[in-house]
Amino acid sequence: MDQQKRSRFGLFGLKASITLALLALFFSSLACAIELPGNTSPANATDIARSVESTLNAETVATMQAQQTLDASMPVVVPTEDPGVSETLQAQQATLDAQATSLSPQATQVVATEISLATLPPGPGGAPEVTAITAWKMYFWVPLNSGCKLSGIPCWKLADDWKTAQTSSGEGVLTSKEPIMIESSWERPYLVFWYKCLLRRAGEIDIQVDGDWIMVKNLGNLRSEWVQESIDLQPYKGKQMIVRFLSEIGYYQQSTWFVQDVKIVPNFKQE
């Protein structure tokens, strides 16, 4: 700090000396001009004024250069950081680093997977998924692995073994185990399946809605070739339903009924 004061005082003395010298020169020139009016022309007076102005400009430039040199030589004072603030910032940064490293790559991948799955559309182009019905309660029905219309698709057969059951008549019943919601947003919900049959009496398709059984289709008793059946479910939008295939058996006449690929199609288009 003492060095800065000395430098500023020295610069001030230099400027004062130059200024006094210029003033002395100016007054000396002015005195000459006054004492010798006969020998001094206006042109000479103008030259003297220009000389004084040039000298003043030179002095101003020299002063500015000296000031710049002094500023450059002065040390830059950096405020000292409060030790308490520094320690607090370091502690906060350490906490953030620990939190960032606590998530393992596996955990990060799980989060990303959950997000990506949550944003997937329900089906191609955003269409709702088709619901296949594969879980059934069976009475005189059995599942089949072959001998049906489609390969690799679940299939069931009415097993009219009335002799083994020791009864002359009865009902063969195939009932879905879980209720299925028919969404209100579905455009054309349909129950779709393949079947063929040779029945003593007509087979029927029932659905249970609000606890009541409703027959939605009478299939007749003879279909020697596989047929795809579609049943309109639009009247039951917003309802849960259970599906049932029902036929009489017995009376000393065996019945046959094959059912395959039972599903609920939210937007069924008939060909």
pLDDT, tens digit (0-9, with 9 covering 90-100), for 66-104:
555 545 555 544 445 555 656 666 766 666 566 555 544
78 located within any domain: no
Domain membership of residue 119 (yes or no) is no
Domain tally, the chain: 2
- Residue where one domain finishes, among candidates 32, 49, 73: 73
My answer on whether 138 and 66 are in the same domain is no
63 plus 154 within the same structural domain: no
The reply to whether 39 and 147 lie within a common domain is no
- Judged by average pLDDT, the poorest of 4-8, 24-28, 231-235 is 4-8
Between 264 and 53, residue with greater pLDDT:
264
Distance CA 12, CA 196 (A): 117
Residues 261 and 147 reside in one and the same domain: yes
Q: Are residues 249 and 149 in the same domain?
A: yes
- Cα separation, 86 vs 81, in Å, equals 7
DSSP 267: B
**Alpha-carbon torsion 86, 88, 90, 93, what sign?**
negative
Q: Are residues 144 and 49 in the same domain?
A: no
Which residue in 137, 203, 220, 221 sits closest to 174, CA to CA? Answer: 137
Sequence-ordered strand ranges (E) for the chain: 131-132, 136-139, 141-144, 155-158, 169-176, 180-182, 190-209, 212-232, 239-250, 256-265
194 compared with 8, residue with greater pLDDT: 194
Domain span including residue 256: 127-265
Our CA angle for 42, 43, 45, nearest 5°, is 65
pLDDT surpasses 80 at 31: no
What average pLDDT does this structure show over 184-199?
96
Per-residue pLDDT of 113-163, as tens digits, reads 333 333 334 555 556 889 999 999 999 899 999 999 999 999 999 987 666
Average pLDDT over residues 203-219: 96
Residue 9 has pLDDT above 70, yes or no: no
In a domain, 116, yes or no: no
Q: Residue 143: which CATH number?
A: 2.60.120.260
Q: How far apart, in whole angstroms, are the C-alpha atoms of residue 49 and residue 202?
A: 132
Task: Report how far apart the first and last C-alpha atoms of the chain are (Å, whole number).
Answer: 98
Cα separations in angstroms, 195 against 47, 79, 158, 206? 124, 90, 11, 15
* 13 located within any domain: yes
Looking at the fold, whether 41 and 160 belong to one and the same domain comes out as no
Domain end position, chosen among 73, 97, 112: 73
**Same domain, residue pair 234 and 143:** yes
For position 175, what pLDDT does the model report?
Answer: 97
Amino acid of residue 191: L
More confident of the two residues 213 and 45:
213
Q: Which residues contact 137 (CB under 8 A, 6 or more apart)?
A: 173, 174, 175, 176, 177
Backbone angles phi, psi at 241, to 5 degrees: -140, 155
Domain boundary among 54, 73, 92: 73
CA distance 260 to 193: 6
Residues 167 and 253 in one domain: yes
Kindly state whether residues 163 and 33 are assigned to the same domain: no
Tell whether 60 is covered by a domain: yes
* Inside any domain, residue 117: no
Q: Which residue has the tokens 């960032």?
A: 100
Residue 208 lies in a domain: yes
Residue 40 lies in a domain: yes
The overall average pLDDT reported for the chain is: 73
- 190 or 20, which is more confident: 190
Q: What is the pTM (predicted TM-score) of this model? A: 0.54
In angstroms and rounded to an integer, the radius of gyration of the C-alpha atoms of the chain is 53
- 220 and 149 share a domain? yes
Q: Distance (Å, rounded) from C-alpha 68 to C-alpha 80?
A: 26
Q: What is the pLDDT of residues 222-261, one digit of tens each?
A: 999 999 999 999 999 999 999 999 998 876 667 889 999 9
Q: For residues 13-24, b (16+ Cβ closer than 10 Å) or e, as one string?
A: eebeebeeeeee
Mean pLDDT across the stretch 1-5?
50
State the pLDDT at residue 118: 33
